[in-house]
Amino acid sequence: MTDPLVIFTPSGKRGHVAPGTTVLAAARQLGVDLDSVCGGRGICSKCQVEPAFGAFPKHGVTVTEEALSPRNAVEDRYDRIRGLAPARRLGCQALILADAVLDVPPESQVHKQVVRKRAEARPVVMDPATRLHYVEVAPPDMHEPSGDLQRLERALAEQWGIPNAKGDLRTLQMAQPALRKGDWKVTCAVYGDGPEPRILQVWPGFYGGPIYGLAIDVGSTTIAGHLCDLATGDVIASTGLMNPQIRFGEDLMSRVSYAMLNPGGAAQMTAAVRQALNALVAQAAAEARIDPALIFEAVIVGNPVMHHLVLGIDPVELGQAPFALATADALHLWAEEIELRLHPDARIYILPCIAGHVGADAAAVALSESPQLNDELTLVVDVGTNAEILLGNRSRVLACSSPTGPAFEGAQISSGQRAAPGAIERVEIDPVTKAPRFRVIGVNAWSDEAAFPPDTRVTGICGSGIIEAVAELRLAGLLDASGLLGSAEQTGTDRMVPQGRTHAYRLRGDILVTQGDVRAIQLAKSALYAGARLLMDAFGTDTVDRIVLAGAFGAHISPRHAMVLGMIPDCDLAKVSSAGNAAGTGARIALLNVAARRDVETLVHRIHKVETAIEPRFQEHFVAANAIPHASDGFPHLDPLPEVTFNTEGGRRRRRG
């Protein structure tokens, strides 16, 4: 009689095992991904499987109820105390007696896949640096003296195959009481990313979780955090706050100037951002109602200036050529070293930087969007005060940054404001009546719908609103290709109001889109476009297959309007997507999957950096990109636009008949 055949689904892994083998042992023998924290002692229930019965012609087996041993006392007890679904078995208790087909549900997989919303996004497989391991430790023996920690380390090596785990000093201080309280059974949190695994915490007895990690994106304007469960990968709180460094300067260069001109200025900004990081931790922990001491790890990304200031490095070198980074490599730190209050022994991983203008945030975007895994030539644009731009496919990846300025964030716009309740975020202009309709942040209706409250307070226009407004003005024939707004006479609508020698469009009340606003958007979009073109030149291409708009702000940009403006190169609109906060997502990937850290460390060395500040073609592209393009300007995917040309004298004439 041959040994029973066991088939695991969904992996399809199969093999014969000796009768009486536990399901967990069989899974290990066959390399099946079946979780366990307690190491097969019927405590953690992480190894649940769901047996299937009947004939499986595809697998060539017929499975009867006798395939597994009956539910035993451990499973009954577990069911009584915590509940065990009738179809489920504990893999460490059920014995394989005959041919079996066993399904491993997602929650029983160690390397379970974390669901990401976008189909084209890089999948995330759980493999965090910090894991829980239950061990049974040999008690001390006077005749064979050894340290309690050494016996704990040996248990980790023997029971979990983790050699050379070392305890931090605090672990050492807590290990003896925990071992005795747990009667020589303890659970360890082991951090595995580094030259030697470190034991960060010892709990008496079995501790099945939760443990947490925090992914942080430190932007010039906002700091965003995702608090994640390190077992499931679930985001249990997403929170953000303003970067308090804004008081030292709105954009990066003004902060670098502050550091250069004020002794101790860099240290002040470091203190401010670290204080904000601690506030972020407290806010995320409060939102998720968890103890911040259960946060064992954080991953931090940010542009080079933020990166340096978080680390307490004076960013002055980043303000002048040759834009030398203090360090480009990924960093492993104790949270304590940057005064971050998580678990007392928590570790920090900081993604590598790409260049002096292309930081760990761009590396995180590269990790999240992974253009290097795609055949399609992908352009990734992370829109912010500084835009990070990536262009690449399987063959190579290029990167640059472009100083777009703060117009896209609503600054330098006459009625501009940050994206906050009351701000106009979407705009449509009727091409016939020239009347606007808009949406306001915090209100779930368009301004011309019945559900729009008449007393809505409209306070200004945010970045996405001004982009749509300018594009809609162009589509409605109120703005010409050179960026001039027409007069009331030229356009035939009294929505156009004179402002000195120029004209403005009255959006609502005293909220206008002025000629100055259009010029500010033109400058910003030209910088963005010029950066993208520079990379396309370096790549030797005139077209891209796919465009990803990233950044918290990028998520709100309408691709169609961005293309009408010529912010981005021509592309099939169906291939233009928004990735949300891709830098934050990249940080989250590095938090949940330790191999992704190695990937991004390798990737940044493969990325070819193009320095816009010294590339003469950047200036050429910038000037050439000032106009709002036609379909005939190399934008075949653009709808035909009204052929209008205005001049500042107010007369109207048609361009090209």
Judge if the upstream peptide bond of residue 403 is cis by omega within 30 degrees of 0.
no
537: contact with a second copy by CB under 8 A: no
272: contact with a second copy by CB under 8 A: no
252: contact with a second copy by CB under 8 A: no
149: contact with a second copy by CB under 8 A: yes
Q: How far is the CB of 340 from a second copy (least distance, A)?
A: 12
CB-nearer residue toward a second copy: 62 or 176 = 176
Q: How far is the CB of 123 from a second copy (least distance, A)?
A: 30
Candidates 31-39, 327-335, 523-531, 555-563: pick the segment binding a second copy (CB under 8 A): 327-335
Compute the distance between CA of residue 485 and CA of residue 645 in angstroms, rounded to an integer: 9
Q: How far is the CB of 327 from a second copy (least distance, A)?
A: 4
Compute the distance between CA of residue 418 and CA of residue 414 in angstroms, rounded to an integer: 12
CB-nearer residue toward a second copy: 136 or 611 = 611
361: contact with a second copy by CB under 8 A: no
Contacts of 7 (CB under 8 A, 6+ apart): 13, 14, 56, 59, 61, 100, 101, 102
326: contact with a second copy by CB under 8 A: yes
331: contact with a second copy by CB under 8 A: yes
Positions in 175-204 near a second copy (CB under 8 A):
175-177, 195-196
CB-nearer residue toward a second copy: 176 or 541 = 176
Q: Which of 373, 614, 623, 631 touches a second copy (CB under 8 A)?
A: 614
163: contact with a second copy by CB under 8 A: no
Which of 131, 181, 125 lies closest to 156 in space, CA to CA?
A: 131
Q: Which two tokens mark 629?
A: 């393009």
CB-nearer residue toward a second copy: 144 or 649 = 144
Alpha helices in 325-425 (DSSP H): 360-369
Q: How far is the CB of 390 from a second copy (least distance, A)?
A: 15
Q: How far is the CB of 572 from a second copy (least distance, A)?
A: 33
CB-nearer residue toward a second copy: 71 or 608 = 608
Q: How far is the CB of 186 from a second copy (least distance, A)?
A: 14
Q: How many residues interact with a second copy (rule CB under 8 A)? A: 47
Cα 505 versus chain centre, distance: 37
CB-nearer residue toward a second copy: 273 or 476 = 273
| Ranges assigned E (strand) in 260-406 | 295-302, 331-334, 347-350, 378-382, 387-392, 397-402
327: contact with a second copy by CB under 8 A: yes
Residues 88, 49 contacting (CB under 8 angstroms): yes
Q: In degrees rounded to 5, what are phi and psi of residue 369?
A: -90, -20
The edge-to-edge listing of strands for the beta sheet with 48-52 is 14-16, 5-9, 100-103, 48-52, 89-90
Compute the distance between CA of residue 50 and CA of residue 85 in angstroms, rounded to an integer: 9
CB-nearer residue toward a second copy: 310 or 429 = 310
Candidates 16-24, 145-153, 416-424, 442-450: pick the segment binding a second copy (CB under 8 A): 145-153
DSSP string, 62-101: EE-GGGBPPP-HHHHHHHHHH---TT-EETTTPEE-S-EE
Which of 138, 149, 196, 195 lies closest to 171 in space, CA to CA?
A: 149
Residues 17, 96 contacting (CB under 8 angstroms): yes
Q: Taking each helix axis from N to C terminus, what angle separates 594-606 and 582-592, rounded to the nearest 10 degrees?
A: 130
Q: Which of 143, 501, 653, 656 touches a second copy (CB under 8 A)?
A: 143
355: contact with a second copy by CB under 8 A: yes
Contacts of 606 (CB under 8 A, 6+ apart): 372, 396, 397
CB-nearer residue toward a second copy: 97 or 333 = 333
158: contact with a second copy by CB under 8 A: no
| Ranges assigned E (strand) in 278-382 | 295-302, 331-334, 347-350, 378-382
Per-residue contact track with a second copy, 286 to 325, x per CB under 8 A?
-------------------------xxxx--x---xxxxx
The residues of the shown chain that bind a second copy, judged by CB under 8 A, are: 139-143, 145-150, 167, 169, 172-173, 175-177, 195-196, 311-314, 317, 321-329, 331, 333, 337-338, 353-356, 358, 609, 611, 613-614
